[in-house]
Amino acid sequence: MRVKPHVHSSLHSAILNSLELPVRSFSQRMIGAALLDSSLYEEVEADQSAFRQAMVVVVISSLATGIGMGLRDGVRGLVAATIASLIGWLFWSWLTYFIGTRFFPTPETSSSWGELLRTTGFSATPGILRIFSFVPVVGIWMLATFVVGVRQALDYQSTWGAVMVCLLGWLIWVFVGVFLVPTAI
């Protein structure tokens, strides 16, 4: 399968639309995501079939986190944590999409929630290292990959714009998790 690159500049579009770039394998995509390769994020943004792969990355990362935590709550806890991670990914990605396209769009911003799901799903790749709970930089690395995924999906020219959207989305997510979810239970 081949996919055309996703570019919004008319000059670049005219040139690049005539090119077809090979699609990377699943493992190559994960490596590219972990290495903050913006062309990888553009590739998965444009490839609608990459959603399942993105979801698999989130599940693997979630399972690695549970194993790294020593399966404190057993298999049930691992399953619950995986489901919670999937729901968290869906919610934070939607929130980021909403904030980025409604409140902070740039003239180049043209995105869908699916594009955000694909890029942010692959941004969970470094989370696989959470199986080694003693690696403290994984959370920072995951945040960096999330920002790059958001920047590419929202077609931002500035990384700082993506940082602000991610930070605002995260603050809302924490508020919901701390104040609203416990009261609903």
Domain boundaries, the chain: 2-184
Which element (helix H / strand E) includes 12? Answer: helix 10-16
Q: Quote the pTM value.
A: 0.80
Instruction: For residue range 35-57, list pLDDT tens digits in order.
Output: 999 999 999 999 999 999 999 99
Q: Which of 30, 33, 6 is nearest to 20 (CA)?
A: 6
| Confidence class for position 65, pLDDT limits 50, 70, 90 | confident
Q: What's residue 72's pLDDT?
A: 66
Instruction: For residue range 69-108, list pLDDT tens digits in order.
Output: 766 677 877 787 778 888 888 888 999 999 999 999 999 9
State the residue for tokens 């005219």: 14
Backbone angles phi and psi of 58, in degrees to 5: -65, -40
